[in-house]
Amino acid sequence: MNGSDADGGGGGATGSQMDGDTGSGRLNAETADTDATVGDPIVESTVAEAAASAPAAADTTLEGLDRASRPDRVSSVLVAVGHGPHSGATVDVARALADATDAWLELFHVVPTDAALADAQTGADGGAGADAREAGGGERDDYAATGERVLDAARDRLGEFDRVDRWLVEDRSAAGAIVEQSPYYDLVVVGAPTTGTVGRFVFGSTTDTVVDDAAVPVVVVEADGDAALDGA
């Protein structure tokens, strides 16, 4: 629905889609923008203005500007919503970007698969047994429930803003899921790296990987102090 899918197909998450009420990463031929006219570049200036209008953000960095296929527009933004002190500021900057460009936002949260949890419990050497897999299944449910709460908090923080969808995805790698979806959007917004078990899965080395491998420009947001979402 929101993403800039040039061929009209679905975004196709790398993992299982767990939230069925969204048209995430999809734009069909009828709704695609067919205007080939390119105007003045706006991405860099819009990101700077959005950062300045979000008091919770201490530092906002735009990476990979040369990856913008249409630097004169921002019609869809993938917002990687996670845990930690930067999560609220990330949503604030994303909303400011959308307000300035009339873009759609996709609130995107990734939870680990059973295989990822088993690897974390036993190491990635293939030694996970039935007990570990069973324990991982219960832990997966906890991650999913926490993810829903974080998405709820992100949606609440947007207030009356209504050009938004939400997507909870299960994947072995948070970075892989975000990178895989990135071609269907004009920008990706992520929080700066954090520490902690959950934080590392979502925004540890994930931020660096997304900055390096995303198909579009990436906005990295660092909060001024602790600007965590409720439940994050």
| pTM of the complete model | 0.77
- Can you name the CATH fold of 16-223? Rossmann fold (3.40.50)
- Identity of the residue numbered 125: D
Whole-number Å distance between alpha carbons of 106 and 103: 10
Whole-number Å distance between alpha carbons of 145 and 69: 36
Closest CA to 188 of 84, 86, 106: 106
Both structure tokens of 178:
């975000």
Task: Give me the tens of pLDDT residue by residue for the chain, a chain 232 residues long.
Answer: 445 443 333 344 444 455 544 444 433 333 344 455 678 999 999 999 999 999 999 999 999 999 999 999 999 999 999 888 999 999 999 999 999 999 999 999 999 887 777 766 665 444 443 433 344 445 767 888 999 999 999 999 999 999 999 999 999 888 999 999 999 999 999 999 865 444 444 444 789 999 999 999 999 999 998 888 976 5
- The residue extents of the domains of the chain are 16-223
Q: Are strands 218-223 and 187-191 parallel, antiparallel or unpaired?
A: parallel
